[in-house]
Amino acid sequence: DAKTTQPPSMDCAEGRAANLPCNHSTISGNEYVYWYRQIHSQGPQYIIHGLKNNETNEMASLIITEDRKSSTLILPHATLRDTAVYYCIVSEENSGGSNYKLTFGKGTLLTVNP
């Protein structure tokens, strides 16, 4: 079962910021939050990840609440090409303690409108 909850869909106007929420209330202390997106008919693409501090890269910003139970992915100036399904994923640990599995839920379909 996915360990995250996301809204099934969101709309955003082109040029405006898109804020995609994710709840992960059962996250443990050493689990990371990852964001991937999947543009129609393509393979998923990595966006950003974080543990407890806010993160920013050339694609997006990730804001994680202090209790780590939720996070928000921010696309600062959404374009039509940002229309995609966005997946929020909490990494899983195996018994050996190393993380390598990703569990994809249904994600949020973000539609950027002109």
Partner 1 sequence: NAGVTQTPKFRILKIGQSMTLQCTQDMNHNYMYWYRQDPGMGLKLIYYSVGAGITDKGEVPNGYNVSRSTTEDFPLRLELAAPSQTSVYFCASSYAISDRRRQETQYFGPGTRLLVL
**Shortest distance (Å) from residue 36 CB to partner 1:** 8
Stretch that binds partner 1, among 11-19, 29-37, 57-65, 72-80 (CB under 8 A): 29-37
Q: Which is nearer to partner 1, 21 or 105 (CB)?
A: 105
Query: Which residue type, as a one-letter code, is found at position 96?
Result: G
d(CA 35, CA 60) in angstroms, rounded, equals 10
CB 38 within 8 A of CB 107: yes
d(CA 49, CA 36) in angstroms, rounded, equals 9
**Shortest distance (Å) from residue 30 CB to partner 1:** 5
Q: Which is nearer to partner 1, 43 or 114 (CB)?
A: 43
Q: Which is nearer to partner 1, 97 or 114 (CB)?
A: 97
- Identify which of 69, 65, 49, 45 has the alpha carbon closest to the alpha carbon of residue 57: 49
Residue 11 interacting with partner 1 (CB under 8 A): no
